[in-house]
């Protein structure tokens, strides 16, 4: 990678330092898959893009995931534009291979990436450009900004009653790496999304003495693959159908392919699968979870209501005393400080528009990575990148014509 640079102070200048304020580039905030894909798509259209990444390396969030993690989408449909994933990665790509791919992607496309720079605030300039306030007192001027960070910014722990006085081991799933520290122990996992179910399965297979999973709302569960047909293929085919049609199709498929776990504490949800997705509830991809529940290796219990006398209080009043609690309770977005003053966020802190659309109140500001598509996040990030790049290039041509 011939333009990767660190902006931290050092005794001697870093090689290949990016001239940040030259030619008013498009700034891409975030060096994850979405940011890298947008930077490549812009470069392919002759638009200079500079990626600003607060961590020391690209793909920081992927590096910090638990070791067991694999993509639930196929290798072929998870590649970003302009570079296939190697066949050696297998069909379901492992976390470390995703990281290697992102590194190679940045190098292959010769992307301009500056690491160690955190953008704290983005403002409009009088001439229609953008001013970015960054770490170290830096002020960077760009022609446009693409926000590719903030979706999973801050680990969220519910403010359970008694949490502050609980003396047992309590950690967020973001701090979980593998089952080794929990061998022979009684562990409670809170949260029944893909992260929670996979951590529970990892613990059950990794030697934990007892694994319980606290569930508030039962999820939709789908098989990752059936007779070689990946669930993602079906999702791509139906993604544009009416919600009620997809709900009915999904209900039929799930009844045929996924055993009923009602007797184990996980009844089938009443609301449709696609209806739940539109509300932000992603289906659980089964990679062994269903079998573990049916065999009693993972016990489903009620939702956590609080902590009392160093015990966990569950819905219905039951009290249990696990040796460790892993909270797979999600993240909060971190966009308010960055762009909250621009009037471009909704009541839940999400961008009001995304993809190829730019807010009317903030033209020249784009967003990627703030959806939960059933057809695969990486696939849709790549598609979004192309749309954003076309829109940015079109806007740049329009401004150039006006200037002449």
pLDDT per residue of the chain (404 residues) written in tens, 0 to 9: 333 333 333 332 333 334 333 468 999 999 999 999 999 999 999 999 999 999 999 999 899 899 999 999 999 999 999 999 999 999 999 999 999 999 999 999 999 999 999 999 999 999 889 999 999 899 999 999 999 986 777 899 999 999 999 999 999 999 999 999 999 999 999 999 999 999 999 999 999 999 999 999 999 999 999 889 999 999 999 988 999 999 999 999 999 999 999 999 999 999 999 999 888 888 999 999 999 999 999 999 999 999 999 999 999 999 999 999 999 999 888 899 999 999 999 988 889 998 889 999 999 999 998 877 888 899 999 999 999 999 999 888 877 777 66
Distance CA 127, CA 339 (A): 18
Largest CA distance in the chain: 73
Cross-strand bridge partners of residue 268: none
Distance CA 97, CA 378 (A): 14
Structure tokens at 278: 């539109």
Identify which of 178, 162, 158 has the alpha carbon closest to the alpha carbon of residue 69: 178
Structure tokens at 165: 């006085």
Predicted confidence (pLDDT) per residue in 326-377, tens digit = 999 998 888 999 999 999 999 888 899 988 899 999 999 999 988 778 888 9
Q: Are 193 and 372 in contact (CB under 8 A)?
A: no
What 3-state DSSP class applies to 351?
A: strand
* DSSP code of residue 334: -
Q: Tell me the domain boundaries of the chain.
A: 5-153+333-403, 155-327
* Phi and psi at residue 389, to the nearest 5°: -60, -40
User: Strands of 186-190's sheet, edge to edge?
Assistant: 169-172, 324-327, 186-190, 210-214, 299-301
Identify which of 118, 137, 62, 119 has the alpha carbon closest to the alpha carbon of residue 94: 62
Locate all alpha helices (DSSP H) within 89-220, ordered by sequence. 95-108, 194-205
- The DSSP bridge pattern shows strands 311-314 and 5-6 to be unpaired
Residue 35, classified by CB atoms within 10 Å of its CB into exposed (0-12), middle (13-18) or buried (19+), is: buried
Q: Is the four-CA dihedral 186, 307, 67, 76 of positive or negative sign?
A: positive
* Phi and psi at residue 385, to the nearest 5°: -60, -45
Distance CA 362, CA 350 (A): 15
Tell me the pTM: 0.87
Helix, strand, coil percentages in the chain from 3-state DSSP, rounded to 5: 30, 20, 45
Length of the chain: 404
Distance CA 263, CA 125 (A): 60
- Return all residues near 45 (Cβ < 8 A) that are at least 6 apart: 389, 390, 392, 393
* Tokens 């330092």 -> residue: 17
- Return all residues near 251 (Cβ < 8 A) that are at least 6 apart: 272, 273
Distance CA 177, CA 165 (A): 25
Identify which of 98, 22, 29 has the alpha carbon closest to the alpha carbon of residue 337: 29
* Matching CATH number, 5-153+333-403, of 3.40.50.720, 3.50.50.60, 3.40.50.2000, 3.30.413.10: 3.50.50.60
Cross-strand bridge partners of residue 285: 222
Asked if the domains 5-153+333-403 and 155-327 are classified in one and the same CATH topology, the answer is: yes
CATH of domain 155-327: 3.50.50.60
- Return all residues near 243 (Cβ < 8 A) that are at least 6 apart: 272, 274, 275, 278
pLDDT at 139: 94
């Amino acid at each position: 990678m011939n333009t990767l640079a660190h902006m931290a102070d050092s005794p001697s200048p870093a090689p290949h330092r990016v001239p940040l304020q030259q030619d008013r580039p498009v700034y891409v905030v975030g060096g994850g898959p979405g940011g890298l894909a947008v930077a490549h798509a812009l470069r392919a259209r002759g638009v200079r893009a500079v990626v600003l990444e607060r961590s020391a390396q690209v793909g920081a969030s992927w590096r910090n995931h638990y070791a067991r993690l694999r993509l639930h989408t196929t290798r072929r449909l998870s590649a970003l534009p302009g570079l296939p994933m190697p066949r050696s990665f297998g069909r379901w790509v492992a976390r470390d291979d995703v990281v290697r791919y992102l590194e190679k992607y940045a190098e292959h496309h010769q992307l301009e990436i500056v690491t160690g720079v955190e953008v704290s605030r983005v403002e409009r300039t009088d001439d229609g450009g953008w001013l970015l306030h960054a770490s170290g007192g830096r002020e960077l001027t760009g022609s446009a900004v693409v926000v590719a960070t903030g979706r999973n910014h801050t680990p969220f722990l519910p403010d359970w009653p008694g949490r502050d006085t609980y003396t047992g081991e309590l950690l967020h799933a973001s701090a979980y790496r593998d089952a080794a520290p929990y061998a022979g122990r009684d562990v409670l996992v809170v949260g029944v999304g893909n992260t929670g179910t996979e951590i529970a399965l990892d613990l059950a297979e990794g030697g934990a003495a007892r694994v319980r999973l606290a569930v508030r709302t039962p999820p939709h569960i789908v098989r990752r693959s059936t007779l070689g047909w990946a669930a993602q293929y079906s999702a791509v085919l139906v993604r544009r159908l009416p919600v009620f049609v997809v709900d009915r199709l999904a209900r039929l498929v799930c009844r045929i392919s996924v055993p009923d776990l009602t007797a184990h504490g996980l009844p089938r949800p009443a609301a449709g699968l696609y209806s739940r997705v539109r509300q932000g509830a992603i289906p659980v991809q089964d990679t062994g979870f269903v079998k573990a529940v049916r065999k009693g290796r993972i016990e489903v219990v009620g939702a956590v209501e609080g902590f009392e006398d160093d015990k966990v209080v569950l819905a219905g009043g039951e009290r249990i005393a696990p040796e460790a609690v892993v909270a797979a309770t999600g993240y909060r977005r971190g966009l308010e400080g960055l762009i909250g003053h621009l009037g471009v966020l909704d009541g839940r802190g999400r961008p009001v528009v995304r993809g190829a659309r730019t807010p009317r109140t903030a033209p020249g500001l784009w967003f990627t990575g703030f959806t939960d598509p059933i057809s695969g996040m990486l696939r849709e990030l790549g598609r979004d990148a192309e749309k954003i790049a076309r829109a940015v290039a079109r806007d740049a041509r329009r401004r150039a014509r006006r200037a002449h």
